[in-house]
Amino acid sequence: MAEEEYRSVQLIDGEGEFNDAGVDHFMKTTRLAECGLSYAVVSIMGPQSSGKSTLLNNLFKTDFREMDALRGRSQTTKGIWLSKCQGIDPYTIVMDLEGTDGRERGEDDTAFEKQSALFALAISDIVLINILASSVDKVDLSRWCHDIGREQAANKPLLKTVFQVMMRLFSPRKTTLLFVIRDKTRIWDSVSKPEAQKDTALSEFFNASFFLQRILFMIKSILTCISDNFSSLKQVEVTALSSYEEKEDQFHDQVAELRQRFVHSIAPGGLAGDRRGVVPASGFSFSAQHIWKVVRENKDLDLPAHKVMVATVRCEEIANEKLSHLTSDEKWLELEEAVQSGPVAGFAKKLEAILDAYIEEYDEEAVYFDESVRTAKRKQLESRALHLVHPTYQALLGHLRSNSLEKFQKDMESSLNSRKGFAASVRDCIESSMFEFDQGSADATISRTDWDASKVREKLHRDINAHANSLRNQKLSELTNHYEDKLTEALAEPVESLFEAAGNDTWASIRNLYHRETRNALSEFSTSLSGFELEKVIFDERITNLKEFSKSVVVKKAKEEAAKVLIRMKDRFSTVFSHDKDSMPRVWTGKENVRKITKDARTSALKLLAVMCAIRLDEKPDKIESTLMSALMDAPSALGRRTVTSLDSLASSTWEEVSPSNTLITPVQCKSLWKQFSSETEYTVTQAISAQEAHKRSNSALPPPWAILAIAILGFNELMVLMRNPLYLLLLFVMFLVSKALWVQLDVAETFQHGILPGILTLSTRFLPTVMNLLRKLAEEGAQPPTAPQSSQNNPPLDTQSFRSDSQRHAPPPLMTPAPDVPSSSSSTVSSPRSGVECPETKHFVEVDTEASYTS
């Protein structure tokens, strides 16, 4: 199956009949229909027995029949044969055409040659034209190169006729013509050389690339004679191969190198030409059959006039020469280089002088040729020359555009710094920049051309407008940010201060502040916006946005303060509860009405809560404060505990006459906050009551006067007994000292400040350890030797001061009124570091650490 896939098939036989069945079988075996548009068609034409089939077999690994060297020159290929190339991507089909100049068809029967050549050009992407140099005999190189252009050499009459008919019958398609010069070494070997240079190689005298380029130039000149538009319809390539018989190794190397040019031939930049007219691979058979039919039915094969042909070739040569000189002209290169650096003054005049010089030279040299051809080629020369210099003109316009845009930017910066209105500055700067560009573009435009700088001018105008819009947006943004910062500074801190001292007129003060600052800011902002000349809709939108921002500052600050309302309420309660009407710290002497003070403090805190419940920028009245007062302050309570009943008025998520968007704290949240507030402030009230009771007890340490008088009268007999027996007085004195020491050590007064029962329990646990401590110290003092003075210094006698200091060291801290923000509790704790006993005020049991007591 693999051998059959690459087996050649006859596409058209020697009689001109199309082989339908053979082509269909070929497409099936080679799976051509699956390729879509990814395939290429290569064909070869040339003289009979010039090695066409040999070249194809070596180049594409095909199996075309080759000439038998023993039989001599004869017709090997009849008609047109078709085969698939091996190992080349993309899928490539190669066609081997019957050789021209064959004696089998006779000298006058060239119809099939023309038809097959036209068919190959119409259907192929690449056409190989095989030129054999083996027939050259003892001629010099220049004559052989000239011979390529002879009337009968290289199939020139055939190509002229075929190209003209093809352009009339088929839509133009840019096919690649690859001229293959065969046996190039024989050309050099046949040239007469001096005796000393007989063995010198061709490469020592000529550069191979230059040699091929010269041949390519001649071939193009010949083909241009065939068609004026040939350069736009055909792509011409040329290559040369060594002799297959004499230098086979070089031949194979050169063929392998040529083979690489056919890999990816249909890719952009590949060897294949225009691919727009390619039919899908599935329609190849039908397309080829239809093209062959059209070719066979054509009878019009006339040749152009010799005079026109000569004029065309020669004028084309002159035009190409002048264009080549222009590309290397020093003045033009200097002008081109100068334009790359920036605008050039008088560009159009300098360029016109250079172009006019070469056009005049063309006119002088082509004056004797056919006028119509000369004029047409002159126009082509002008067009090609202008096309050559046009990129430089575009580069010059680009510099002018950049400079004008840069000038606009600098002028705008200077104009804005001078405090000029933005819109007026933009108009003046645009007018100045566009005027500068117009002057520069007029100086650069050549009069004979239709070059138009309007597109570049429009782009410049768009760039300027874009920069102006960007700058306007930037300035508007900066202006808006400035007034937003100004409003934030003017509203944020004052509003916060007003919320800290919240009262009945808080929101009225906030409204006055808000309206005053917003009015001032909007007035200044409107004046600043007038310089931008904005549309009324945009102007009003920005004014509205700034006004909304001002409101958002107040709303944001209100929400922040609402989040801290509990702290504010406790601060307010502490301030009112702990200070009198003169703002002096309150001393709890027992004469104060704690209940009334507590109610006043809570009422003040509740008013602060009412202020923070809703945003009141619209001056609409509401009943929030009265609702809170009736629901919270008038709620039933019991001594020592608080029972919160169902508050129907606060069992809602909205306030009456207040929209949800203006609600900061809902009724349900107020209820929760008040419960937490009451719990955290209850300890402060309890401490105040305890302080009052302690103060009363401290003032009642001595008995009343009547009790003292009764004791004096009733105790007179006991006093007389003590006076008659001094030993009793000494015993009483000792008992007094011991009692005093115990009083100080136990800190009885401080202990009973927390209550009678907790005091008794505390003294009961501390009494025995304290007595034992005193006895131990007395024993230590008595055991000291009297002759040791240092010992007496190190161990001073036990006195009341030492008892006091020791008592103070172990006594519990004094009673203090806690700060409002410290977490409080409804109970207090009295502890002894020595005994490890804790006595809650509201509990009636004590846990005694017996082990710690025993150790102490």
Binding site annotation covers 52?
A: yes
CA separation for the pair 627, 623 (Å, rounded): 6
Tokens of 833: 């570091």
For range 234-249, the mean pLDDT? 81
Residues 6 or more apart whose CB falls under 8 angstroms from that of 515 comprise none
Question: Does residue 515 have a pLDDT over 90?
Answer: yes
> Is 154 contained in some domain?
yes
> Is 787 contained in some domain?
no
Higher pLDDT, 787 or 426: 426
> Is 457 contained in some domain?
no
Q: Which of 255, 275, 299 is the last residue of a domain?
A: 299
Identify the pLDDT of residue 79: 85
Which residue do the tokens 């003046």 mark? Answer: 428
Binding site annotation covers 36?
A: no
CA separation for the pair 316, 296 (Å, rounded): 33
Identify the pLDDT of residue 209: 54
CA separation for the pair 15, 78 (Å, rounded): 9
Say which amino acid occupies 78. K
pTM: 0.44
Residues 6 or more apart whose CB falls under 8 angstroms from that of 296 comprise 16, 115
Identify the pLDDT of residue 666: 92
Least confident range of 148-152, 430-434, 448-452, 464-468? 148-152
Overall domain count for the chain: 5
Q: Which tens digits make up the pLDDT trace of 166-215?
A: 555 455 567 788 888 877 666 555 555 566 555 655 555 444 555 566 56
Identify the pLDDT of residue 89: 86
Q: Is there a single domain that holds both residue 156 and residue 271?
A: yes
Question: Does residue 597 have a pLDDT over 60?
Answer: yes
Q: Is there a single domain that holds both residue 624 and residue 686?
A: yes
Identify the pLDDT of residue 824: 36
CA separation for the pair 725, 570 (Å, rounded): 65
For the beta carbon of residue 791, count every other beta carbon within 10 angstroms: 12
CA separation for the pair 21, 799 (Å, rounded): 140
Q: Is there a single domain that holds both residue 117 and residue 241?
A: yes
Q: Which of 545, 563, 581 is the last residue of a domain?
A: 563
Q: Which tens digits make up the pLDDT trace of 741-776?
A: 888 888 777 777 777 777 788 888 888 888 888 788
Burial class (CB in 10 A: 0-12, 13-18, 19+), 635: middle
Identify the pLDDT of residue 518: 92
Least confident range of 75-79, 82-86, 372-376, 393-397? 75-79
| Inter-residue contact 821 to 570 (CB < 8 Å) | yes
**Ranges assigned E (strand) in 226-353:** 234-240
Question: Does residue 41 have a pLDDT over 70?
Answer: yes
Binding site annotation covers 696?
A: no
Nearest to 421 by CA among 535, 524, 527: 527
> Is 46 contained in some domain?
yes
| Inter-residue contact 88 to 109 (CB < 8 Å) | no
Binding site annotation covers 47?
A: yes
SS3 228: coil
CA separation for the pair 602, 634 (Å, rounded): 12
| Inter-residue contact 167 to 118 (CB < 8 Å) | no
CA separation for the pair 595, 639 (Å, rounded): 11
Higher pLDDT, 135 or 724: 724
Rounded to the nearest 10 degrees, the angle between the axes of helix 667-699 and helix 565-578 is 30
Tokens of 227: 């068609």
Domain of residue 532 covers: 476-563
> Is 213 contained in some domain?
no
Least confident range of 87-91, 342-346, 807-811? 807-811
> Is 433 contained in some domain?
no
Identify the pLDDT of residue 782: 72
Q: Which tens digits make up the pLDDT trace of 265-312?
A: 888 888 886 676 666 676 678 778 877 887 787 644 332 333 455 567
Look up residue 638 and give its DSSP letter.
B
Higher pLDDT, 40 or 49: 40
Measured CA distances, 781 to 202, 350, 769, 793, 802 (Å): 136, 127, 18, 12, 13
Q: Is there a single domain that holds both residue 126 and residue 145?
A: yes
Q: Is there a single domain that holds both residue 692 and residue 737?
A: no
Q: Is there a single domain that holds both residue 540 and residue 651?
A: no
Torsion angle, CA of 329/330/336/338, rounded to 10 degrees?
A: -170
Q: Is there a single domain that holds both residue 633 and residue 691?
A: yes
| Inter-residue contact 801 to 737 (CB < 8 Å) | no
For the chain, percent of residues with pLDDT exceeding 70: 72
Identify the pLDDT of residue 523: 92
Identify the pLDDT of residue 149: 43
CA separation for the pair 152, 145 (Å, rounded): 14
Nearest to 761 by CA among 696, 641, 856, 853: 853
For the beta carbon of residue 819, count every other beta carbon within 10 angstroms: 12
Residue-averaged pLDDT of the chain: 76
Burial class (CB in 10 A: 0-12, 13-18, 19+), 795: middle
Question: Does residue 703 have a pLDDT over 70?
Answer: no
Q: What is the CATH number of the domain that holds 52?
A: 3.40.50.300
Burial class (CB in 10 A: 0-12, 13-18, 19+), 261: middle
| Inter-residue contact 52 to 96 (CB < 8 Å) | yes
Q: Which tens digits make up the pLDDT trace of 441-452?
A: 888 888 878 888
Q: Is there a single domain that holds both residue 775 and residue 803?
A: yes
Residues 6 or more apart whose CB falls under 8 angstroms from that of 831 comprise 812, 837, 838, 839
Question: Does residue 333 have a pLDDT over 60?
Answer: yes
Identify the pLDDT of residue 728: 77
> Is 60 contained in some domain?
yes
Question: Does residue 844 have a pLDDT over 50?
Answer: no
Binding site annotation covers 99?
A: no
pLDDT band with cut points at 50, 70 and 90 for residue 804:
very low
Identify the pLDDT of residue 756: 79
Interior CA angle at 62 toward 61 and 66, to 5°? 115
First-residue to last-residue Cα distance in the chain: 114
Q: Is there a single domain that holds both residue 39 and residue 76?
A: yes
830's enclosing H/E stretch is strand 829-832
Q: Which tens digits make up the pLDDT trace of 671-691?
A: 999 999 999 999 889 988 888
Tokens of 238: 């040329």
Identify the pLDDT of residue 770: 83
Q: Is there a single domain that holds both residue 20 and residue 166?
A: yes
Binding site annotation covers 102?
A: no
Q: Which of 271, 299, 327 is the last residue of a domain?
A: 299
SS3 138: coil
Least confident range of 39-48, 590-599, 787-796? 787-796
Q: Is there a single domain that holds both residue 228 and residue 295?
A: yes
Question: Does residue 734 have a pLDDT over 70?
Answer: yes
Tokens of 803: 């008892």
Tokens of 27: 């497409």
Burial class (CB in 10 A: 0-12, 13-18, 19+), 206: middle
Q: Is there a single domain that holds both residue 558 and residue 569?
A: no
| Inter-residue contact 102 to 48 (CB < 8 Å) | yes
Binding site annotation covers 805?
A: no
DSSP states along 75-126: ----SEEEEEPSS-SSEEEEEEEPPBS-TTT-SS--HHHHHHHHHHHHH-SE
Measured CA distances, 829 to 688, 691, 806 (Å): 16, 15, 21
> Is 420 contained in some domain?
no
Binding site annotation covers 343?
A: no
pLDDT band with cut points at 50, 70 and 90 for residue 724:
confident
Strands 829-832 and 837-840: antiparallel
Identify the pLDDT of residue 419: 73
